[in-house]
Structure 1
Amino acid sequence: MAEEQEGSDAGSEEVLLTPAQLIRSLEQAWMNEKFAPELLESKSEVVECVVEQLEHMEENLKRAKGGDLKVSIHRMEVERIRYVLSSYLRCRLRKIEKFFPHVLEKEKTRAEGDPSILSPEEFAFAKEYMANTETHFRNVALKHMPPNLQKVDLLKAVTKPNLDSFVFLRVKERQENILVEPETDEQREYVIDLDEDSQHLIRYKTIAPLVASGAVQLI
């Protein structure tokens, strides 16, 4: 049985997941990350558990008899899980590279006790990427400019995630009184209910907290 620990406090409640539930958690994190316009909370505990599970599955395959149909099916499942895992991690790295100043700023200003959006490895990568970008700008252009123009605000220079973009979602838990902002000046804000298992196309920032809580799944 795979074990996932939520939160960083010593007294955090532990949630035990079966291998099937663990893989489903990875797939849900993957889908959300693919379709969300911003970098989401790091699921490093899930990633670590999936890596351990893959190692265990591969050890079982090595001991299995060759030519068995079940072995071929299990090997295909291992490759499928590896694909989902690598795609999830690549998607996160692409977002870090694209939005690195905003990602680091969000991490810097998050409230104590709030979950981190970066794993330790991603945080180190983002800081190194930012340092290398600043060095590149300085060596290629800034040092040739007047002293008063030799600084660049990367938060302004680098595009930020478009939280106004629309996303498709499926509701996992019924939600009531969701405030929807108007799309034009002529419209007024209004409130909607989201029924369980219903699907919607809606502005991302309206349901971003529901994605974070797991109440809805991006599709």
Structure 2
Amino acid sequence: MNIDNDVIPGLFADPTQLPKESDLQELLRLWQNERHAPEILPSNGELLSRVLDQIRRQSDDANALRRDANLSEEEHYMTMLVQTEVERVKFIIRSYIRTRLFKIEQFARHMTNDPEIQARLSQAELTHARRYTALVEKQFTTSVLGHLPDTQRGLDDDVPTLPNMVTEPDKDRPVFIHARQACGPVQLPDGSGFEIANDSIHLMRYHTIEQLLARGEVELV
């Protein structure tokens, strides 16, 4: 059997091409940005679906090859490489989903109060955020708020001298960025403008580069 020609189309001889490079690079950037951003970023369900479909096909193809009694040692080795790459991509997807789930539960009430943030979530994520918020509020009411005067039972109280009861992302947090293209100028805390050169790396506060990240001009590292 010729592993390059006789297998089901889509099984790459080079395991680094699994799934197709453009989708894999986009997934890696999506994962990396999500891990380093203090807030939740827009989901990309279409990309995840494509990658999951691709690795599912690759797993099926590799398993079919391993059952072939005429499989050579070299072909067996290549199928093992493909399966290893499949597991690596699965790890990235699981880590990406866990990161988003952590943020959803950390900022659930803030998200459910902000339509702009809700638009970044998948339907399943939004449903989870609403259910999680309801459970937390029920627990707070039962254990604490229900025993306070009516005027002090709200979770949305904004008292200048006290911390906000609704946890929000810290957009003042510094993040490392890598410029994918020349961009700027961005306004620095002292009011001056700063041009970001292509392929340069900088440490800046998140709110300073938030829009550049949204446009894909920079990535977090």
TM-score, normalised to structure 1, is 0.82
- In 1, the alpha carbon distance for the partners of 2:155 and 2:192 equals 41
Q: Which residue of the partner structure matches residue 104 of structure 2?
A: 96
Partner-residue secondary structure (3-state), 1:177: strand
1:192 maps to what in 2? 194
Moved more, 158-167 or 73-82: 158-167
Aligned residues: 193
Give the conservation status (yes or no) of the 8 Å contact 2:155–2:166: no
Q: Deviations over 1:173-213 (max 9, x none)?
A: 1113222222xxxxxx1111111111111111111111111
SS at match of 2:194: strand
Three-state SS of the structure 2 residue aligned to 1:123 is helix
Bigger fraction of residues in strand: 1
Q: Is the 8 A contact 2:111 2:118 kept in 1?
A: no
- Give how far 1:154 is off: 7.7
Q: Closer, same or farther in 2 for the Cα pair 1:92/1:154, shift >3 Å?
A: farther
* Structure 2 residue 172 is the aligned partner of structure 1 residue 171: no
1:149 aligns with 2:149: no
Aligned pairs for 1:20-59 (under 5 A) are 20-59=21-60
Equivalent of residue 133 in structure 1, options 136, 158, 174: 136
Please name the residue that 1:158 is paired with.
166
Moved segments of 4+, more than 4 Å:
none
Q: Is the 8 A contact 1:171 1:215 kept in 2?
A: yes
In structure 2, what is the equivalent of residue 73 of structure 1?
81
| Secondary structure in structure 1 of the residue aligned to 2:40 | coil
Deviation at residue 32 of structure 1 after TM alignment: 0.3
- Distance of aligned partners of 1:39 and 1:140 in 2 relative to their CA distance in 1, 3 Å threshold: same
Rg (Cα) greater in structure: 2
Q: Letter of the aligned partner of 2:125 in structure 1?
A: E
Give the deviation of 1:23 after TM superposition: 1.3
AA in 2 matched with 1:142? L
3-state SS of the aligned residue for 2:85? helix
Answer whether contact 1:39 1:103 (CA < 8 A) is retained.
no
Tell me, in whole angstroms, the C-alpha distance in 1 between the residues paired with 2:99 and 2:77. 33
Given the alignment of the two structures, is residue 216 of structure 1 paired with residue 218 of structure 2, yes or no?
yes
- The amino acid of 2:212's aligned partner reads L
Kept in 1: contact 2:118–2:126 (CA 8 A): no
Does the aligned pair in 2 maintain the 1:177–1:191 contact within 8 Å? yes
What SS does structure 1 have at the residue aligned with 2:155?
Answer: coil
Show the counterpart of 2:14. none
User: Could you tell me how far 1:76 is from its partner in structure 2?
Assistant: 0.7
| Offset at residue 169 of structure 1 (A) | 1.0
* Equivalent position amino acid for 1:211 in 2: L
Q: How far apart are residue 117 of structure 1 and its match?
A: 1.1
Identity of matched residues, % = 30
The answer on whether the counterparts of 1:41 and 1:115 sit within 8 Å (CA) in structure 2 is no
Q: CA RMSD for the aligned pairs?
A: 2.2
Q: Would the aligned equivalents of 2:36 and 2:220 in 1 still touch at CA under 8 Å?
A: yes
